[in-house]
Structure 1
Amino acid sequence: MTGRPEALFPLFAALETLEGIGAKTAKLLPHLGVEKPRDLALHLPYALIDRRRRDTIRGAEAPVTLTVAVTVGAHRAPRNKGGAYRIHVEDAEADFQLVYFHARGDYLKRLLPEGSRRVVSGKLEIFDGMAQMVHPDYVLPEAELEEIPEVEPVYHLTAGVTQKTLFKATDHVLRDLPDLPEWIDPALKKQEGWPDWRDAMRAAHRPERLEDVMPMAPARARLAYDELFAHQLTLSLARLRLRRAKGHPTVGTGALQAKVREALPYQMTGAQTRAVADIAGDMAQHLRMNRLLQGDVGAGKTLVAFMALLIAVEDGGQGVMMAPTEILARQHLEGLQPLAESAGVVVEILTGRDKGKERAAKLAALARGDIHVLVGTHAVFQKDVEFQDLRLAVIDEQHRFGVSQRLELGRKGAAVDVLVMTATPIPRSLSLAQYGDMDVSILDEKPPGRKPIKTAVVSVERMQEVVERMRATIAEGRQCYWVCPLVEESEKLDLTAAEERFKHLRAALGEGVVGLVHGQMPPAEKDAAMAKFQAGETKVLVATTVIEVGVNIPNATIMVIERAEIFGLAQLHQLRGRVGRGEAQSTCLLMYQPPLTEGGRKRLEVLRETEDGFRIAETDLEMRGAGDVIGTAQSGLPRFRVADLERQAGLMATAQKDARKLLEDDPALESDRGRAARQLLWLMSQEEAIRLISVG
């Protein structure tokens, strides 16, 4: 694919090529994310001002912008310098005042002579019971009414850039838009009633009614779809790329899996069984597996992952399981060890701590095939780590594993199948934006024997009762977490908050009972404090939010979260999932500082009502928006300019289906529609995708 199509050149020219944009404005526009005319085309208005003429201001809900014809009455100059210059005017049914500050009287007498008829347009406000319009936007003789636009789009601005500047510049862009071939599936376009691309652009920038600025307006929905479709095409190209690399069909005998099933104290859930079947089906193919296993806290992902690793071992191959941190890698090892023993499978761990002879011995055993399953951190990716026959990589990710890392893993040699596990329930629209290149299995049932966690909301004023409750729990031989809030502005503050709470609880519950973990501690001290709690030596762990996702202490039955109202929903749900991992009834206490805001109250209520992580994530998305739910900085979530993931979730799913189908029918994008889709990728600056086509 040779380079950007010529039709798009004007859209990628310098901003100064547009009317009314000089060097100074061109320097300010990047604050709005506008660096080229194309960005301006995607910078759509968010509201509109209706300037259609009306007969009277009577009945208008002030403050409101309106346009009305008036007869000009008496002028009243200000008594002192800098005061208000007032002009009395009357429309067909009511009278009001035009107000000017720092105005020259002679100029206003020429503009609005007493007794004349004028059309005025501006913002009407009520001040001291009197209707007034301060500095109207337009004042014209009635004959020149058409100079006032009936409807005016309102754009997001940045300091130094006015609505008029953007209106003029977008006018220029809209005039010169190329006529591009259609990349949307004709049947879909017809069914949705979407306009052509060029018409959609013009309609979206020049709305006529309030509905036209809504995400669901046909022109807007079409432009949002273009953006989502380009994104999903990029992900689907990456997926094809990963899959085209020949896979190694892996077919298990089922013998080892059966041994593990027999050793389990409970039955696998339906969701677990389905996920294992999905994975086995993928692994048996000649294409490489690229699957996401998404499950809520405690849905039993580890067991599913282990069954998948056993399929590789049953067929004479090896598997690797990667965790983001050493603590989690060791925990995976602890979780897998009993299962591995029941199947007679050798599991070993490799982390950055392994040095010298010990490391050399492990590497030799791995190369000989004596180690069946390796658990580790990113250390398993080092040059000297060689497997005899690696078939499956399971990656336990905490949002740190984007598309580019998935492509990287695919390059690591043999045709390895990839299974990514995530414990964060993400609403479907977001998971498609982030993992659209993958096939997804969802674990949405809890394994039997897990008791629901009781969640209560209590005010900080009842601190004493909470401490008493903990004392009783400790007397029964149980353990508790106490999470202190992270105050963003200052790590010092967190520290004092956590240390104060630690001292307070130590005084109440006794020496040696309470441990402390916070972000400022040296890693060795942190590990030591965690280990003491894990071993049951300390009964209460006071922590800032550093307690790792995935830490498993079945004996902990109380989770207190202080100032819960300032945490995000997903985070509260993850923290709550640290308890309720054993046989005993567990409780999560959400402590808040009154008075609660509306949002804070709603968040705590949702948690009290449900333990369903997916429902919680959907609510979180409605309340906070996409970037916050995943933390856009590290999420690998693209920034969409037109598409709104909260309101247009359905479009994302359609875009994924359509992108996959187009590439199945036309993998090189050579058909008419395929060539149109290439233009779309250029238009949306999807250079990654363009590279994938040209090398594919």
Structure 2
Amino acid sequence: MSTRPDILFPLFAGLDSLDGIGPKTAAHFANIHVEKPRDLLFLLPYSGTDRRMRDTVAGVPAGEVATVTVTVKRHSPARARGRPYRVFVDDGQIEFPLVFFHANDRYLTAQLPEGARRVISGKLEWFDGTPQIVHPDHILEPDAVDGLPDYEPVYPLTAGVTQKVMARAVRHAVRLAPDLAEWIDPSLMRREGWPSWADALHQAHSPQATGDLSPETPARQRLAYDELFAHQLTLALARADQRRATGKPTVGDGTLRDKVLKSLPFAPTGAQTRAIGEITADLAAPYRMNRLLQGDVGSGKTLVALMALLTAVEAGGQGVMMAPTEILARQHLDSILPLAEAAGVVVAVLTGRDKGKERQSKLAALARGDIHILIGTHAVFQKDVEFRDLRLAIIDEQHRFGVAQRMELAAKGQGAHILVMTATPIPRSLSLAQYGDMDVSILDQKPPGRTPVKTALVSTARMEEVVAHLRGAIDGGRQAYWVCPLVEESEVMDMTAAQDRFVHLRAVFGEGVVGLVHGQMADAEKDAAMADFVAGRTKVLVATTVIEVGVNVPNASIMVIERAEHFGLAQLHQLRGRVGRGDAASTCLLMYQSPMSETGRRRLEILRETEDGFRISEEDLAMRGAGDVIGTAQSGLPRFRIADLERQANLMATAQTDARALLHTDPDLTGDRGRAARVLLWLMERDRAIKLIKVG
């Protein structure tokens, strides 16, 4: 089935095929991503209006909608420009006005002739003790009242589209929805009590009460599951496709790894041992590894990565490790080099800074196979970088690299295995949405020797105390980070800029003691400032969040984060992870400005309570939403119209299990459920996935 099935054609017609929509209105709908009838099916009402009939408006609170039968008493036209037109009506208990601004007198006289009975529905307001309805939503003759639902769904709108136009278009689109064969596992349907797809649409678009708008209702849960299942099926097909791409089985004899483990002053944690085992098994398989190594700050990812690289070297191949910045690439080099040297393995670094002869000789050594492990920035992508036998590519901090770059790097080696590492703990639901095509190893234990970091909340009013505390630490031979939210003072925001804080602290501590690093500096300047701090030449490093990921200075034991209430939880956790890397007791001071918002306070309190990055990431997701946690711009997250990743994490996990199980039993999707799943992929516009289905 490589073309869209006929049964779905009406849902993919132009929007102007629906009642009451011409080309002009269709153009307005496009502003809310509605371009065809299918899009309306997944635009669910977000609230509703109770339009049940009442005997009278007397006693109805202001702001509520009242629907009553009235007799039209008299018209009171506007006497002056800008004054309203009033029509007085009586519901049998009380007389009150209907109020119209910029009214068309002739239209109102025809709609509301004196002496006639009408059903009026609209929001009630009280003015000088008298009820009134301004611009009623509905004016109906009593025998036409059947067209008014007791509970009217309210949809998201855009300029040029009214509720009436929207409701009519949705009703028509729902009538077009065909009965489709079931793609959900029957036992799951029974367990959850979910309706069929068509019934779920009817129920979701015809709520009878406010409770029917909850994401927990069977109809909405089922529709959310359909989206998540289509997404996971797409990722499972991509994974199956990748597994068909043959990899080079890479099996080492363990000699180099043993040498490194013997040279370590501690034994790996259980989590590290488990991850190393999973990666070793993947490398030995005949298909390409595509694995995510997720570990919290300080969980020991570097050792796991090195073990994987050494397996590639033991098998006669090479490995490459790529970091998003030169600072991080050099840091990986610093931590890997002594261990690799203990095993007699040649490691080199390649960044944009390598030029001329030096670069040429590195590239020649790499092509000959004299360099076993290459560490670098995206400079390792360049066309002239050739390996003799690349077996493993490791990418650090995946969210800085796109999927396309991931593929490009793997292409450097015939079937090179891929390991992606991230120090950003991602909640399970997001990890499944973003990396569902990958297998995941999680490091959830800390190696011995990491000192816990004491976290304290301090008001900006106590700035002088903080500076005095800092002086004591520096006199004791310690170093500190001071993180600011903005680079330069801005008139709009009253947050202290890094530049200003640098000047202030330099005045306190003297020339040469304080360094500055921020994103607007040239790379060479940034590197020089970092190098001074790493070498201990400067004692305080004033920085923006550029130091968030991966920087390792064991002697730094204080982290001051100014205006901490403006940072995201995950970001604060990453920053705190820069200290506590040596043997000194470490402190993280979260400086906030009063008064703090409720969310700001909650964020800082969570951070004070726990150092568990996974718990922090779940809280962050609950407070901020999916797009913000990963960073919407490069999130790689699909746009779900119904599914809610924060509240429906368990559905995402079920969808992944179900999708992988279906492909396991029916890899070509040719069975009954498989063919139904193909229709779902077309319905959800997963064209890329359809191309991945093996034909025949």
Please indicate the TM-score interval, normalised by the length of the shorter structure. over 0.9
Counterpart residue number, 1:347: 347
Counterpart residue number, 1:17: 17
Aligned amino acid, residue 583 of structure 2: E
Counterpart residue number, 1:218: 218
- Contact 1:238 1:407 (C-alpha < 8 Å) held by counterparts: no
Q: Does structure 1 residue 292 correspond to structure 2 residue 304? A: no
Distance 1:385 1:53, change over 3 A: same
Aligned amino acid, residue 445 of structure 1: Q
- Contact 1:227 1:640 (C-alpha < 8 Å) held by counterparts: yes
Q: Does structure 1 residue 100 correspond to structure 2 residue 84? A: no
Distance 1:439 1:514, change over 3 A: same
Q: Does structure 1 residue 309 correspond to structure 2 residue 294? A: no
Q: Does structure 1 residue 196 correspond to structure 2 residue 196? A: yes
Shift of 1:411: 3.5
Distance 1:489 1:49, change over 3 A: farther
Counterpart residue number, 1:392: 392
Of 66-75 and 106-115, the range deviating more from structure 2? 106-115
Cα distance in 2 between the residues matched to 1:13 and 1:109: 41
Write the deviation string for residues 272-324 of structure 1: whole angstroms up to 9, x where unpaired: 11111111222222222111110111111111111122222233332221112
Counterpart residue number, 1:457: 457
Counterpart residue number, 1:135: 135
Shift of 1:233: 1.3
Cα distance in 2 between the residues matched to 1:489 and 1:171: 53
Aligned amino acid, residue 685 of structure 1: E
Stretches of structure 1 that go unaligned for 5 or more consecutive residues are: none
Shift of 1:330: 0.8
Alignment of 1:671-682 (within 5 A): 671-682=671-682
> Residue 558 of structure 2 aligns to a residue in which SS?
strand
Counterpart residue number, 2:693: 693
Counterpart residue number, 1:255: 255
Q: Does structure 1 residue 153 correspond to structure 2 residue 146? A: no
Shift of 1:81: 4.2
Shift of 1:398: 4.1
Counterpart residue number, 1:497: 497
TM-score by length of 2: 0.94
Shift of 1:542: 1.2
Distance 1:93 1:257, change over 3 A: farther
- Contact 1:495 1:518 (C-alpha < 8 Å) held by counterparts: no
- Contact 1:121 1:136 (C-alpha < 8 Å) held by counterparts: yes
Shift of 1:137: 1.4
- Contact 2:313 2:372 (C-alpha < 8 Å) held by counterparts: yes
Cα distance in 2 between the residues matched to 1:448 and 1:125: 67
- Contact 1:518 1:544 (C-alpha < 8 Å) held by counterparts: yes
- Contact 1:225 1:655 (C-alpha < 8 Å) held by counterparts: yes
Shift of 1:8: 2.0
Of 245-254 and 476-485, the range deviating more from structure 2? 245-254
> Residue 267 of structure 1 aligns to a residue in which SS?
coil
Counterpart residue number, 2:246: 246
Distance 1:212 1:560, change over 3 A: same
Shift of 1:253: 2.7
Aligned amino acid, residue 583 of structure 1: D
> Residue 353 of structure 2 aligns to a residue in which SS?
coil
The percentage of aligned residue pairs carrying the same residue is: 69
Shift of 1:630: 0.6
> Residue 399 of structure 1 aligns to a residue in which SS?
helix
Cα distance in 2 between the residues matched to 1:613 and 1:60: 50
Distance 1:547 1:84, change over 3 A: same
Q: Does structure 1 residue 360 correspond to structure 2 residue 367? A: no
Write the deviation string for residues 372-398 of structure 1: whole angstroms up to 9, x where unpaired: 222112232333333333222211024
- Contact 1:486 1:545 (C-alpha < 8 Å) held by counterparts: no
> Residue 53 of structure 1 aligns to a residue in which SS?
coil
Distance 1:384 1:111, change over 3 A: closer
Counterpart residue number, 2:669: 669
Distance 1:9 1:113, change over 3 A: closer
Shift of 1:145: 2.3
Cα distance in 2 between the residues matched to 1:489 and 1:84: 50
> Residue 669 of structure 1 aligns to a residue in which SS?
coil
Shift of 1:138: 1.9
Alignment of 1:313-352 (within 5 A): 313-352=313-352
Aligned amino acid, residue 301 of structure 1: K
Cα distance in 1 between the residues matched to 2:231 and 2:603: 31
Distance 1:38 1:104, change over 3 A: closer
> Residue 124 of structure 2 aligns to a residue in which SS?
strand
Of 453-462 and 187-196, the range deviating more from structure 2? 187-196
Counterpart residue number, 1:35: 35
TM-score by length of 1: 0.94
- Contact 1:487 1:494 (C-alpha < 8 Å) held by counterparts: no
Corresponding pairs, count: 696
Cα distance in 2 between the residues matched to 1:142 and 1:569: 57
Aligned amino acid, residue 223 of structure 1: L
Alignment of 1:374-453 (within 5 A): 374-453=374-453
Q: CA RMSD in A?
A: 2.5
Shift of 1:437: 0.5
Cα distance in 1 between the residues matched to 2:92 and 2:336: 83
Shift of 1:105: 6.5
Cα distance in 2 between the residues matched to 1:29 and 1:490: 38
Shift of 1:42: 1.7
Write the deviation string for residues 350-405 of structure 1: whole angstroms up to 9, x where unpaired: 22333333333323333333322221122323333333332222110240334444
Aligned amino acid, residue 63 of structure 1: G
Shift of 1:421: 0.4
Alignment of 1:600-611 (within 5 A): 600-611=600-611
Of 646-655 and 314-323, the range deviating more from structure 2? 314-323
Aligned amino acid, residue 524 of structure 2: A
> Residue 40 of structure 1 aligns to a residue in which SS?
helix
Aligned amino acid, residue 466 of structure 2: V
Shift of 1:32: 0.2
Shift of 1:521: 1.6
Shift of 1:650: 0.9
Distance 1:681 1:431, change over 3 A: same
Q: Does structure 1 residue 526 correspond to structure 2 residue 523? A: no
Aligned amino acid, residue 165 of structure 2: T
Cα distance in 2 between the residues matched to 1:110 and 1:492: 54
Shift of 1:596: 0.7
> Residue 559 of structure 1 aligns to a residue in which SS?
strand
Counterpart residue number, 1:185: 185
Write the deviation string for residues 59-78 of structure 1: whole angstroms up to 9, x where unpaired: 64431123123455566666
Cα distance in 1 between the residues matched to 2:70 and 2:493: 61
Shift of 1:127: 3.5
Counterpart residue number, 1:64: 64
- Contact 1:487 1:493 (C-alpha < 8 Å) held by counterparts: no
Cα distance in 2 between the residues matched to 1:153 and 1:141: 22
Alignment of 1:468-617 (within 5 A): 468-486=468-486, 497-617=497-617
Cα distance in 1 between the residues matched to 2:483 and 2:580: 16
Distance 1:211 1:15, change over 3 A: same
Cα distance in 2 between the residues matched to 1:326 and 1:38: 47
Distance 1:686 1:207, change over 3 A: same
Cα distance in 2 between the residues matched to 1:655 and 1:491: 49
Distance 1:271 1:96, change over 3 A: farther
- Contact 1:242 1:410 (C-alpha < 8 Å) held by counterparts: no
Shift of 1:154: 1.0
Cα distance in 1 between the residues matched to 2:41 and 2:603: 37
- Contact 1:87 1:99 (C-alpha < 8 Å) held by counterparts: yes
Aligned amino acid, residue 433 of structure 2: A
Cα distance in 2 between the residues matched to 1:13 and 1:75: 47
Shift of 1:334: 0.3
Shift of 1:695: 7.4
Shift of 1:160: 1.2
Stretches of structure 2 that go unaligned for 5 or more consecutive residues are: none
Of 669-678 and 232-241, the range deviating more from structure 2? 669-678
> Residue 273 of structure 1 aligns to a residue in which SS?
helix
Distance 1:537 1:315, change over 3 A: same
Shift of 1:54: 2.7
> Residue 642 of structure 2 aligns to a residue in which SS?
coil
Aligned amino acid, residue 82 of structure 2: G
Cα distance in 2 between the residues matched to 1:81 and 1:561: 59
Aligned amino acid, residue 380 of structure 2: V
